[in-house]
Structure 1
Amino acid sequence: MAGRRQFGRVRKLPSGRYQARYAGPDGQLRPAPETFRTKRDADDWLADKQTELRRGDWHDPDAGKVEFGPYAAAWIMERELTTTTRQLYRSLLRHHLEPTFGAVNVADISPPFVRRWRAEKLAAGTGPTTVAKAYALLRAILGTAVADQMIRRNPCTIKGASTVHTPERPTATVQEVYALADAIQPRYRALVLMAGFLGLRWGELIGLHRRDVDLDHGAVRVRRAVAELNNGQREIKAPKSAAGKRTVAIPSAIIPDIRVHLAVYAEHGADGRVFIGAKKATPRRNHFNRLWHKACSDADVKGLHFHDLRHTGNTLAASTGASTRELMSRMGHSTARAALIYQHASVDRDRLIADAVSGLVDKSRKKTRKAKKKQDRKSKGHAGDTSD
């Protein structure tokens, strides 16, 4: 038995349930995704659908009937990404997203589905950092699906699930940086000092050419970085962000060491590489790490990675009282987040701030006490005056 109404149609099925259908903007007849227990329920659903159409909030329910795997692969291919980021995304998709979502239609990925996937990944022992990165990628891809009007809202709704919680890394003391510079092969002494006191990244240091180092003005221009890819190839690329292209002042204390390095170990000519290995090749991270671990052992410095020298340089810069904007410029960051972390991490600077605040407090209290004594003397003077 079929019923008619002004918008859409409702009919009773042999099962006793009711089916609702309506004509979409494209003229195609669209059935509701489910049947209804009563005709009233079917009518209510049609009324909601009519309201969506009137306010322009309607979207094609078939648009999301696209498998997530191919959609995600196309998403990665279409983005302007560095080679290393593209490799990371493809790895996350292949190992962590496709096994669960690959053959599932984008429209069928629901919040409970996403929560269950995340819980199962963590329970299976996948590292929290990896899960957070995979979740962030899933959320970004499905965010584009929302913009493409394939789905109405993003099913990735877990608060904080994309936040990568990295343990606080150690920093070296000035003495430890020099101990490591003394213990490493002489051709890498300047590399250690520049990492420790300029806060440059490994790829930025390895990417330096002679023309980038201006000892007369005590500055290093960071214009490129060398990235090592998963297949062993290397890529020369621009820094991580526009802010990464910067000029960093060199502490005068290490200029003599850099001058010696340029004279003895660097390639000749303005385009000569500043850091090269014994066989005149650009150093590779895995080979250098062996030299680094030996230097740490010889210098009796435990638990320090080479990248921690960058943290050391940035923490030292923060301890000088540099502003957030100044730290951002020196570190090559486009946001204040990292700069604020280093400012908060500077215990010595915090002690100086606390001492300065204490001085202000003492000065204010001293002034108050002095005023109170003066008032007391004045009050006593009035009390002793008995004349009419």
Structure 2
Amino acid sequence: MANSKGKRRRFGAVRKLPSGRFQARYQGPDGLTRSAPETFASQTDADRWLVRKEAEIIDGKWKNPDDKVLFGVYADAWFKERDYAATTRERNGSALRLHILPTFADLALSEITTPQIRRWRAVLLESGVGEPTVAKAYQMLRAILNTAVDDEVIQRNPCRIKGAGAAKTAERPFLEVTEVFQIADAVPARFRVLILLAAFTGLRFGELAALQRHDIDLDRRTVAVRRALAETRTDGIVVKTPKSAAGVRTVAFPASLAESLATHLAVYVKPGRDGLLFTGARGGLLRRNNFRRLWLQALKTTGLGDVHFHDLRHTGNTLAATGGATTRELMQRMGHSSVRAALIYQHLVNGRDHAIAAHVDEQIRKVRPAESGDDPSGT
């Protein structure tokens, strides 16, 4: 091929168009001759484009511009391949369907640009979509396009908006021990221990709802978390093992709760190893929505205001931290994923987990000495 001045080129050709701009053409690995998608103001610019295109072919990174992979098709396959927990799949599927696909589904992956993503994000915020939801949608879009880069469908991820994947969330309240007991005493008696375990062990609602009789060891004062309950619109209630290995753990509970737990097991739990620790009014699985009515009534009774059930977990985490728990101990106690897989399974053999529970126990005894059966008068 020759350029506009008649010189032979080693790769491609450049010619000057009647408009005065320059066109670059080259032969692809498939033997077909193609033109650059745009023209250039100078021959030098066209030459540089050809150099880059030749480098792509030599490095094996050349993509056929006629093979356009639509974002919607790619994202659908990407989503199906994710090993999400049931609730996460439902939440992320909603974000993809409602906030991402309407804008990008019919675009080729290679056509999506940073300015387009910036406009998309701005429109979502302007339309009243909450910042946390927009941040989650951006995170998901970025993850999909990161995979597209790994699959060599595109060369660069256009999600390059600094801070777009982070959302400021209001700090949730930390309950005082006295407030925990106020709520525990305000709910029906069969759920009193549910409140206390949530606050003083940091277990999640789904983990508590899936506990069985054999998960409680009154002698060792431990709760074994082996499964969790999840509720979705599509699948209903699902009981399964925690998604991450870190979620399978054994947590020590304060000695002050031992008597309350023993009474609860005797009164409210069916005989047999598999008897559910907490059930609904008719003996079935404990549903979050059904319990929410009782929770809101308890808040109204106690006057504690805007408190979420999950704030009990935050309370337990904070109590453990103030007791001197290390980051590793907190991750084990709370069921957080660890950077080291070994930490997920190991049990703390140095007594620190019980020391944490003992610290929580001290906080309880300060305000409720009778909880453990002690005589408040000291006699």
- TM-score surpassing 0.5? yes
Tell me if the contact between 1:59 and 1:150 (Cα under 8 Å) persists in the aligned partners.
Answer: no
* 1:36 is the counterpart of 2:44: no
Cα distance change, pair 193–118 in 1 and its aligned pair in 2 (3 A): same
Matches of residues 249-328 of structure 1 in structure 2 within 5 Å? 249-328=252-331
Q: 1:148 aligns with which of 147, 151, 155?
A: 151
* 1:236 is the counterpart of 2:239: yes
Residue 309 of structure 1 and its aligned partner are, at CA, apart by: 0.5
Residues in 1 aligned to 2:314 and 2:81: alpha-carbon distance in whole angstroms: 34
> Which residue of 1 is the match for residue 108 of structure 2?
105
Residues in 1 aligned to 2:66 and 2:284: alpha-carbon distance in whole angstroms: 52
* 1:227 is the counterpart of 2:230: yes
RMSD between superposed Cα atoms in Å: 2.0
Tell me if the contact between 1:64 and 1:105 (Cα under 8 Å) persists in the aligned partners.
Answer: no
Residue 171 of structure 1 and its aligned partner are, at CA, apart by: 1.6
Residues in 2 aligned to 1:28 and 1:246: alpha-carbon distance in whole angstroms: 60
Normalising by the residue count of structure 1, what TM-score does the alignment of the two structures yield? 0.82
Matches of residues 1-388 of structure 1 in structure 2 within 5 Å? 3=3, 4-54=8-58, 56=59, 58-62=61-65, 65-231=68-234, 233-335=236-338
Tell me if the contact between 1:194 and 1:200 (Cα under 8 Å) persists in the aligned partners.
Answer: yes
Amino acid at match of 1:292: W
Residues in 2 aligned to 1:38 and 1:307: alpha-carbon distance in whole angstroms: 63
Percent identity, aligned pairs only, is 54
Q: Name the SS of the counterpart of 1:10 in structure 2.
A: strand
Amino acid at match of 1:43: D
Residues in 2 aligned to 1:247 and 1:89: alpha-carbon distance in whole angstroms: 30
Residues in 2 aligned to 1:159 and 1:335: alpha-carbon distance in whole angstroms: 27
Tell me if the contact between 2:222 and 2:252 (Cα under 8 Å) persists in the aligned partners.
Answer: yes
How many residue pairs get aligned? The number is 336
- Unpaired segments ≥5 residues, structure 1: 337-348, 350-388
Amino acid at match of 1:26: D
Residues in 2 aligned to 1:229 and 1:51: alpha-carbon distance in whole angstroms: 50
Deviates more, 1:266-275 or 1:227-236: 227-236
Cα distance change, pair 19–331 in 1 and its aligned pair in 2 (3 A): same
Per-residue CA shift, 1:205-225, capped at 9, x if unaligned?
A: 001011111111110000110
Residues in 2 aligned to 1:322 and 1:63: alpha-carbon distance in whole angstroms: 58
Residue 66 of structure 1 and its aligned partner are, at CA, apart by: 1.6
Amino acid at match of 2:300: S
Per-residue CA shift, 1:59-95, capped at 9, x if unaligned?
A: 3052772221121111101222222222222211111
Residues in 1 aligned to 2:104 and 2:167: alpha-carbon distance in whole angstroms: 22
Tell me if the contact between 2:53 and 2:62 (Cα under 8 Å) persists in the aligned partners.
Answer: no
Amino acid at match of 1:208: L
Tell me if the contact between 2:229 and 2:238 (Cα under 8 Å) persists in the aligned partners.
Answer: yes
Per-residue CA shift, 1:221-276, capped at 9, x if unaligned?
A: 00110000023711112224211110000100011111111101112210111111
Residue 8 of structure 1 and its aligned partner are, at CA, apart by: 0.9
Amino acid at match of 2:75: A
Cα distance change, pair 63–229 in 1 and its aligned pair in 2 (3 A): farther
Q: Name the SS of the counterpart of 2:143 in structure 1.
A: helix
Residues in 2 aligned to 1:152 and 1:18: alpha-carbon distance in whole angstroms: 25
Residues in 1 aligned to 2:55 and 2:105: alpha-carbon distance in whole angstroms: 34
Tell me if the contact between 2:223 and 2:253 (Cα under 8 Å) persists in the aligned partners.
Answer: yes
- Unpaired segments ≥5 residues, structure 2: 340-358, 360-379
Residue 104 of structure 1 and its aligned partner are, at CA, apart by: 1.1
Residue 335 of structure 1 and its aligned partner are, at CA, apart by: 4.3
Structure showing greater Rg: 1
Residues in 1 aligned to 2:48 and 2:200: alpha-carbon distance in whole angstroms: 68
Amino acid at match of 1:324: T
Amino acid at match of 1:157: R
Amino acid at match of 1:139: R
Normalising by the residue count of structure 2, what TM-score does the alignment of the two structures yield? 0.84
Per-residue CA shift, 1:43-62, capped at 9, x if unaligned?
A: 222123223434x1633052
RCO higher in 1 or 2 (8 Å CA, sep ≥ 6)? Answer: 2
Residues in 2 aligned to 1:61 and 1:112: alpha-carbon distance in whole angstroms: 24
Cα distance change, pair 165–186 in 1 and its aligned pair in 2 (3 A): same
Q: Name the SS of the counterpart of 2:135 in structure 1.
A: helix
Amino acid at match of 1:278: A
Amino acid at match of 1:319: T
Deviates more, 1:59-68 or 1:132-141: 59-68
Deviates more, 1:21-30 or 1:124-133: 21-30
Tell me if the contact between 2:2 and 2:9 (Cα under 8 Å) persists in the aligned partners.
Answer: no
Amino acid at match of 1:89: N
Q: Name the SS of the counterpart of 1:58 in structure 2.
A: coil
